[in-house]
């Protein structure tokens, strides 16, 4: 039996000797590579925290002592050690193991966090609650150097530092990277701490000198302690944390179990807040990851276990990210005023090619979306047109900056939101379903969700020509659909299919434009003539779209975003404001947290597939025809599977 097979609970780790622990670390890395290569997931970060996670569970008593992982994607080893090893073949699959901590899975998972820089606030709250309840427990927060670039982490540290009796251990997992190498002043400081060899060399020289000195007992200890403190202050200053009043231990080699355990035990026994600075290597033990300079296999799809190469994909068309990247470079050649901002996601958001072509016009601000947006406002106020490229779900935390710093000042800032709509396997926190709903509150904001690549190019041109209001372009994680040309134009609206005497107007945009066309065809096959349109710009709602609604008996809206506060809801409001009584049937993502599953599985579960939507439309029209004239009877989608409002 392997060492790993003997571990079903963290307490099993405490019976292992040094050799068994080394074997266990190697077996865990082999297990991770084999399993994650088959399912996809966050491989690099977890390979880097194997020894650290083992040490945490040997020193602390989980779940009595909560361990909170910032961003959560570095929790795979934690899951293995807490009895979930056998569930890894279903990692990130419907009904299977989550790629992040999950309270439904284990009592060892205290926080289902997957957005960065939140762990210290969670940990302070837990530690203070235990303190007030008189419970002798220690809370551990594991935060990466990348997540420390987020302002929320420092807001928490500012409060933690004034509570000297708070039993809280902050483990800084420093691998020099968030997704790609960490940037900013914090990164520079930490790099200095972990790379200055003079500190260890000086200590070695002092020890050798003291051994030869004719001193014994207490004087030797006092001399050594004073010299060590003085050398540390000069060669590896700890002022960043010490000035806050926080005890600092480190840097500690993150792959040396005995040193890790010693530092963590000291921190646990200190009785107050302690920073333990641990140096790890992202992708440790897997050659392809260690050689991958871009992101050390931060997140992978299904790959070849030996080579690390992605498995062949059936997708022939480019992704939206790739198309955006290509068009942005072309735009940048013509527009020297266009600059780009990333929040530690240069390559995932498609800014890599622009950075290569125009290195002085791309700014990586770290995991700091709030700062990114207000920084963009400053750039715009200074005469440039900034493009802020984010994942749609990460814009949530920067809403106030969009509202008060960009929109209030009527500045031309373009937000490009990747991974909009249902993304699937990463679960509730990563579905880009909130942005449209919250952005609809911003006065003057314009929002487009292009249906194909030509419309993406047009939207980018239009957005960067707007200099008095924020503009937003959102697109899916999926591949770009084949071009879907309009049959005609009705003012600002693209008519995709048209029929004489059409009773039903189907409004679809973005990734759902193709769905709208297919639904229209299915409904037309039932003898109900249909017009299908793409509003092109979903916000603000155009008068042309309202006029089209007024000319039809029924309106159906389809959107790959939250149904509450989406285009359909806004359109219904516009109709009411004009005293128009055309009923609007809104279909989109329900306002609830969805489980991790493939995008296709989620669409089927929500009834957002052609056959279900078409059936709901036909039944609604039939019910209205059978009801009292002028009073269409409300008919829910079959099984209440389609989210509607």
| Catalytic residue ranges | 282, 369, 397
Token couple for 181 = 């190498």
Helix (H) or strand (E) run with residue 381 in it = helix 369-381
Cα–Cα distances in angstroms (integers) from residue 229 to residues 172, 192, 202, 222, 327, in the given order: 21, 17, 12, 11, 55
Nearest Cα residue to 507 out of 419, 434, 582, 602:
582
Three-state secondary structure call for residue 483: coil
Q: Position of tokens 């005293």?
A: 579
Q: How far apart are CA 123 and CA 143, in angstroms?
A: 11
In contact, 483 and 454? CB cutoff 8 Å: yes
In contact, 246 and 161? CB cutoff 8 Å: yes
In contact, 436 and 493? CB cutoff 8 Å: no
Q: How far apart are CA 102 and CA 610, in angstroms?
A: 33
Nearest Cα residue to 368 out of 161, 186, 193, 101:
186
Q: How far apart are CA 446 and CA 414, in angstroms?
A: 9
In contact, 597 and 425? CB cutoff 8 Å: yes
Residue 68 phi, psi (nearest 5): -110, 120
Residues with Cβ < 8 Å from 104, sequence gap 6 or more?
Answer: none
What does the radius of gyration of the chain's CA atoms come to, in whole angstroms?
A: 28
Handedness of CA 546, 549, 550, 554 (dihedral sign): negative
In contact, 545 and 535? CB cutoff 8 Å: yes
Supply the DSSP symbol for 441.
Answer: T
Point out which residues pair with 325 in neighbouring strands: none
């Amino acid at each position: 039996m392997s060492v790993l097979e003997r571990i079903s609970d963290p307490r099993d780790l405490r019976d292992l000797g040094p050799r068994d622990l080394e074997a266990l670390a190697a077996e865990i890395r082999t297990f991770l590579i084999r399993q994650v290569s088959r399912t996809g997931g966050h491989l690099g970060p977890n390979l880097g925290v194997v020894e650290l996670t083992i040490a945490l569970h040997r020193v602390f008593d989980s779940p009595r002592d909560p361990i909170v992982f910032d961003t959560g994607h570095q929790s795979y080893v934690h899951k293995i050690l807490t009895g979930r090893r056998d569930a890894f073949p279903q990692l990130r699959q419907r009904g299977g193991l989550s790629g992040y901590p999950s309270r439904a899975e284990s009592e060892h998972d205290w926080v289902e966090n997957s957005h960065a820089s939140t762990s210290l606030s969670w940990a302070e709250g837990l530690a203070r609650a235990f303190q007030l309840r008189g419970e002798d427990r220690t809370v551990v927060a594991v935060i990466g150097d990348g997540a420390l670039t987020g302002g929320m982490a420092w807001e928490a540290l500012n409060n933690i530092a004034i509570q000297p009796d708070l039993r809280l251990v902050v483990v800084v997992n420093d691998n020099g990277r968030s997704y790609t190498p960490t940037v900013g002043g914090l990164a520079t400081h930490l790099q200095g701490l972990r790379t200055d060899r003079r500190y260890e060399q000086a200590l070695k020289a002092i020890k050798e000198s003291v051994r030869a000195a004719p001193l014994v007992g207490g004087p030797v200890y006092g001399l050594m302690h004073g010299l060590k403190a003085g050398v540390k202050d000069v060669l590896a200053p700890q002022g960043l944390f010490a000035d806050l009043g926080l005890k600092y231990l480190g840097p500690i080699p993150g792959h040396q179990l005995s040193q890790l355990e010693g530092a963590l035990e000291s921190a646990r026994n200190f009785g107050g807040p302690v920073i333990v600075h641990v140096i790890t290597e992202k992708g440790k033990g897997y050659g392809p990851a260690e050689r991958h300079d871009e992101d050390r296999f931060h997140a992978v799809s299904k790959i070849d276990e030996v080579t690390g190469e992605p498995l062949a994909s059936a997708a022939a068309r480019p992704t939206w990210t790739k198309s955006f990247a290509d068009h942005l470079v072309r735009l940048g050649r013509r527009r020297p005023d266009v600059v780009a901002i990333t929040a530690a996601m240069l390559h995932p958001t498609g800014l890599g090619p622009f950075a290569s072509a125009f290195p002085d016009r791309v700014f990586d601000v770290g995991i700091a979306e709030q700062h990114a947006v207000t920084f963009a406002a400053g750039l715009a106020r200074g005469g440039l047109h900034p493009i802020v490229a984010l994942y749609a779900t990460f814009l949530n935390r920067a809403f106030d900056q969009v509202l008060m710093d960009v929109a209030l000042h009527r500045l031309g800032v373009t937000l490009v939101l990747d991974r909009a709509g249902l993304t699937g396997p990463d679960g509730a926190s990563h579905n880009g379903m909130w942005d449209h709903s919250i952005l609809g509150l911003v006065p003057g904001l314009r929002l487009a969700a292009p249906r194909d690549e030509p419309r993406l190019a047009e939207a980018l041109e239009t957005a960067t020509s707007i200099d008095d209001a924020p503009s937003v372009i959102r697109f899916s994680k999926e591949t770009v659909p084949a071009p879907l040309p309009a049959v005609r134009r009705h003012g600002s609206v693209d008519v995709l299919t048209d029929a004489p005497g059409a009773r039903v107007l189907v409004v679809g945009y973005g990734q759902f434009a193709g769905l709208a066309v297919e639904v229209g065809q299915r409904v037309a096959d039932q003898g109900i003539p249909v017009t299908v349109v793409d509003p092109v710009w979903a916000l603000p709602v155009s008068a042309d779209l309202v006029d089209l609604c007024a000319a039809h008996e029924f309106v159906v809206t389809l959107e790959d975003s939250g149904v509450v506060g989406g285009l359909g809801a806004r359109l219904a409001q516009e109709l009411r404001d004009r005293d128009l009584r055309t009923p609007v049937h809104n279909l989109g993502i329900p306002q609830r947290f969805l489980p991790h599953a493939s995008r296709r599985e989620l669409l089927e579960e929500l009834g957002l597939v052609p056959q279900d939507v078409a059936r709901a439309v036909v039944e609604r029209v039939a019910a209205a025809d059978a009801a009292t004239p002028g009073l269409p009877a409300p008919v829910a989608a079959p099984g209440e599977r389609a989210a509607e409002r």
